[in-house]
């Protein structure tokens, strides 16, 4: 069972992400929810068994990138993988995620199949196809 923290300022979007993850083969996971980066940090510091942070980028207050940077400078949190779920697909934005230490990104709109591949990749469950799938693009760094 995985413990997953879903960070998004949109309550409906958090529900959809959780529903999609459950359909992706992680139905027995426990889900924590936060509407912004600051709340997410508090949850992470109170619950040391979170396995992954799945976060939006564009949120009021602390955005997803600022949250990622806070996680990476915290010795107790920095090993937690961070998956971005974003509608912004510009090279500059995605580069900023990956260069700051994100584990991967999931571009909206996405399907349960795409989410499953991303999560399986992060948790090392099977080889990863990073190219030629809906909503997913490869980047060279």
Give the closest residue to 69 by CA, choosing from 78, 56, 60: 78
Nearer to other proteins, 16 or 62 (CB): 16
Of 93, 127, 82, 85, give the one whose Cα is nearest residue 109: 85
Residue 58 interacting with other proteins (CB under 8 A) = yes
**Binding of other proteins at residue 38 (CB under 8 A)?**
no
Q: Which of residues 72-131 bind other proteins (CB under 8 A)?
A: 86-92, 108-111
Q: C-alpha 102: how far from its chain's center?
A: 8
Using the contact rule CB under 8 A, the part of the chain among 38-46, 52-60, 74-82, 120-128 near other proteins is 52-60
Q: Which residues pair with 3 in a beta bridge?
A: 30
Size of the site for other proteins (CB under 8 A): 24
């Amino acid at each position: 069972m995985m413990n997953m923290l879903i960070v998004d300022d949109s309550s409906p979007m958090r529900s959809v992400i959780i529903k999609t993850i459950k359909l992706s083969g992680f139905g027995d996971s426990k889900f924590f929810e936060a509407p912004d980066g600051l709340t997410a940090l508090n949850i992470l510091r109170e619950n040391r068994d979170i396995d992954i942070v799945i976060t939006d980028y564009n949120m009021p207050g602390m955005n997803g990138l600022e949250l990622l940077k806070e996680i990476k400078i915290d010795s107790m949190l920095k090993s937690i993988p961070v998956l971005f779920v974003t509608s912004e697909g510009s090279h500059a934005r995605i580069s900023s995620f990956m260069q700051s230490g994100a584990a991967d990104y999931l571009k909206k709109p996405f399907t349960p199949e795409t989410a499953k591949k991303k999560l399986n990749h992060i948790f090392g469950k099977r080889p990863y196809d990073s190219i030629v799938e809906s909503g997913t693009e490869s980047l060279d760094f």
